[in-house]
Structure 1
Amino acid sequence: MEPKLIFEETLKCPVCGKNTLVARDYLYESENTGKLILSNWVCSNCNYRYRDVKPYETYTPKKIELKIERDEDLNILVYRSAFASMFIPELDVEITPMAGSQGIISTVEGLIEAIMDNLGSLCDENNCKKLYKAKNGELTFTLIIEDPSGLSFIKSEKAKITQLLSLSQS
């Protein structure tokens, strides 16, 4: 299915203050991801851009755990919402949302690559080796997502989902 335009409006840009921010939201649906809202906002004056991907439906807070044990597990599709924290205890990875965070949809391998790219030269030799081994399927690890919005998902029957009343339960 091609994305369907569901919202379009020209707004005041939060950066330059001019009414030149064209905001467009699209509805996209596939059997792999379900219904998603794709946001693409661009200011024609200062080139400010905002992009986001989020599930169409709303949910309750949850914790999702996935044990990565085989090479094929690296191809599992993951959506981490802009509100979710992500942890990989075996790799000493902890990613918490900040103002301006955006949702990301990727495979497990793609998430590991993004972590490596974001760390860049800050990655010490031991952690980089562990991340590299994990990305290449040479290391078993657990991916944990805690999401107060409940929007995140992992497309696998192996994923263990725990509904949370609040994230203090985690």
Structure 2
Amino acid sequence: MLLFSVMLMGEKKGEKVEVKPELGEVQVISLGDCPICGGKNTLKAIQHIHEIPYFGKVMESTIICERCGYRNADVMILEDRPPKLYTVRVEDERDLFTRVVRSKSGTIELEEIGVKVEPGPASEGFITNVEGVLERVRETLLMAREFRKQEGDEEAVKKADEILQYIEDVKEGKKPLTVKIADPLGNSALIGEKVRSRLLTEEEIRKLSLGPYQIVNPEELESSENGSEEALSEKASGDKEA
């Protein structure tokens, strides 16, 4: 998980000061050169900590290049939360206001329309509500529909139209929709009166995409380090004998 808390040199030589935003404060941090366009000192991180009622503190972080416009965002829950699956059944317009906290490692599934939003290298975190998620999916579908239309793929266009219509029906309270979000790192959630949640099983965790992140098993890490130490020790012994 990228945290834009940076260590800056203080007034005294060698003194390090950790910079973190307080609750409600917006912190802007210079990250140096942009890796995309090469702009000098154009990359900045903006982080904002705020509290979501009945849930806890979250930090929204955004990296922006002032030169080329590169942007990447993420959300992190600032409390220790286990890997969970959250589910809500959207049946009327009020359910559309269910809050959605999605980090880069969160997978969103819209069951009835067969849509799954999985983490990827370029995925972003966000805080919105169910209606906001539907709007994001709608915009993506419209772009995909136009592309398929230009290719002459009538079947794909028809399927996109069906999903788009279903989304409109859900927003008007005419059809139900089951919304799920799962996060192996515990940094995503649904928040609302009708939300149900449970712990993810180890098998479910293994099947989920982590996007840009990686889970490291401490036991495997320790075993790997011990193996490396043994290999170095054996090499050193061999060198002495030679």
- Residue 38 in structure 1 maps to residue 38 in structure 2: no
Unaligned runs of 5+ in 2: 1-21, 146-156, 208-242
Alpha-carbon offset, residue 147 of structure 1 = 0.9
> Paired residue for 1:159?
195
Counterpart of 2:161 in structure 1 is 125
Which residue in the other structure is 2:25 paired with? 4
Q: CA deviation at 1:167?
A: 5.2
Moved more, 122-131 or 80-89: 122-131
Identity %: 29
Residue deviations 1:114-150, cap 9 Å, x none? 1111110526222221111112211112111111111
- Aligned residue in 2 for 1:74: 96
1:84 aligns with 2:120: no
CA distance in 1, matches of 2:64, 2:161: 39
Alignment of 1:16 with 2:52, yes or no, is: no
Question: Are the equivalent residues in 2 in contact too, given 1:11–1:23 (CA < 8 A)?
Answer: no
How many residues align? The count is 170
Larger radius of gyration: 2
TM-score, normalised on structure 1?
0.85
Worse-matched range after superposition: 70-79 or 31-40: 31-40
**Greater relative contact order (CA < 8 Å, ≥ 6 in sequence):** 1
- Secondary structure of residue in 1 paired with 2:166: helix
RMSD: 2.4
Opposite residue 119 of structure 2, the aligned amino acid is P
Deviations 1:23-56 (A, max 9, x none): 2322222426631212232223333223333322
- Which structure's residues are more often helix, by fraction? 2
**Which structure is higher in strand share?**
1
| 1:6 Cα deviation after fit | 5.1
Contact 1:61 1:167 in 2 (8 A): no
143, 146, 156: which one aligns with 2:182: 146
